[in-house]
A and B are shown apart, each in its own frame.
Chain A
Amino acid sequence: MPRHKAAPAATTLIENVSIGPVTADDLVHVTKLDARITGTAKPDYWNRLFEGAKADPPTQVFLVAKCEARLIGFIVGEIRAWEFGSAPCGWIFAITVEPDARLASIGSRLFDAVCARFRDAGVTKVRTMIARDSQLILSFFRSQGMMAGPFVELEKDLDE
Chain B
Amino acid sequence: MKLQIATRHALFAILELASQPDRQMSAAEIADKYELSPNHLAKVLRTLGRAGMVEASRGVGGGYRFCGNAKRLNLLDIIAIFEPIGPTAAGAREAGDDTREGQALRQVLNEIEDSTRATLSSITVDTMLKLVRRTPAEGATQRKAAGAR
User: Which residues of A approach B to under 8 Å, CB–CB?
Assistant: 1-7, 103, 132-133, 135, 138-139, 141-143, 145, 148
Q: Are A143 and B71 in contact (CB under 8 A)?
A: yes
Q: Are A6 and B68 in contact (CB under 8 A)?
A: yes
In the complex with contacts A5-B52, A6-B67, A6-B68, A142-B73 CB distance below 8 A: no
Known: A132-B118, A135-B122. 20 other contacts (CB 8 A): A1-B51, A1-B77, A3-B69, A3-B72, A5-B69, A6-B69, A7-B69, A7-B72, A133-B118, A135-B74, A135-B118, A138-B122, A139-B127, A142-B123, A142-B124, A143-B126, A143-B127, A143-B130, A145-B134, A148-B119
30 contacts between A and B (CB under 8 A): A1-B52, A3-B69, A3-B72, A4-B53, A4-B68, A5-B52, A5-B67, A5-B68, A5-B69, A6-B69, A103-B71, A132-B115, A132-B118, A133-B118, A135-B74, A138-B118, A138-B121, A139-B74, A139-B121, A139-B122, A139-B123, A141-B122, A142-B122, A142-B127, A143-B71, A143-B124, A143-B126, A143-B127, A143-B130, A145-B134
The distance from the CB of A87 to the nearest CB of chain B, in whole angstroms, is 24
Residues of chain B contacted by A145 (CB below 8 angstroms) = 130, 134
A141, B71: Cα distance in complex, Å: 12
Residue in chain A with minimal CB distance to B123: A142
Rank and list the top 10 A-B pairs by shortest CB-CB distance, nearest first: A138-B122, A132-B118, A4-B73, A4-B68, A3-B72, A143-B127, A142-B127, A139-B122, A142-B122, A7-B69
A156, B67: Cα distance in complex, Å: 44
Residues of chain A contacted by B69 (CB below 8 angstroms) = 3-7
Near A by CB (< 8 A), chain B positions 57-98 give 67-69, 71-74, 77
